[in-house]
Amino acid sequence: MNIKHITEAQFDAEVLQQKGIVLVDFYADWCGPCQMLGPILEEVADALGDRIKIVKVNVDEAQGLAQQYGVISIPTVYLFDGGAKMSKFVGVKSKEEIIDFIENA
């Protein structure tokens, strides 16, 4: 499953207006832990398939969104369900930990 990179302008349509579960990864290209999390999120996307949508937001290009959602450290990952913010975690987690986070939010 593809992980989509979205802009601040796309956030409303791609996250807030979605009916299902959306995982949003706030990251930066220069961030080492963010680079480590990327392949793990690909594995999560493959494991969960159509049950979840995963998008990435570059905080350097979407500073307004990062500020709006209180992103201080990266990676910060938010879980939205039906457009409502449900939960978040900061830092790198394993595939199993992320799936558990999603299923128990």
The residues annotated with a catalytic role in the active site are 31, 34
- List the one residue out of 72, 105, 73 whose CA is nearest residue 88: 105
CB atoms within 10 A of CB 62: 20
Distance in angstroms (rounded) separating the CA atoms of residues 44 and 32: 19
- Which two structure tokens, joined as six digits, stand for 97? 């930990």
